[in-house]
Amino acid sequence: MTSSDEQSIVLDVRPFHERGEEPFDAIMAAVAGLPPDRSLLLINSFEPVPLFRVMESRGFEHACTQVGPEEYHVRFTRKDDVRA
């Protein structure tokens, strides 16, 4: 479900949706455990627009890319850790 690369922790929440579950708690747990120098790469089946406001209120910016018909990659980065 979660993995990491050099710059980000990856959380694929599509299986939650497939099971009819809400992934919000898993997303918040991933954010809570996020090291200061890492970003969260969220993989979802749709663009999670309401989550953008929640994450912004917690000090994160986002960049969203649609990579397939039902696959979106959203990178959440702390506002004070924006990389050039």
pLDDT at 36: 86
pLDDT at 81: 57
User: Is the predicted pLDDT of residue 1 greater than 80, yes or no?
Assistant: no
User: Is the predicted pLDDT of residue 54 greater than 50, yes or no?
Assistant: yes
Share of the chain above pLDDT 70, in %: 88
- Pairing type for strands 8-12 and 39-44 reads parallel
pLDDT at 5: 52
- Pairing type for strands 2-4 and 8-12 reads antiparallel
User: Is the predicted pLDDT of residue 3 greater than 60, yes or no?
Assistant: no
Asked whether 27 and 10 are in contact (CB, 8 A), the reply is no
State the total domains in the chain.
1
Range of the domain at 16: 2-81
Which CATH number covers residue 50?
Answer: 3.40.50.150
The residue that leads in pLDDT, 83 or 43, is 43
pLDDT tens across 10-33, in order? 999 999 999 999 999 999 999 999
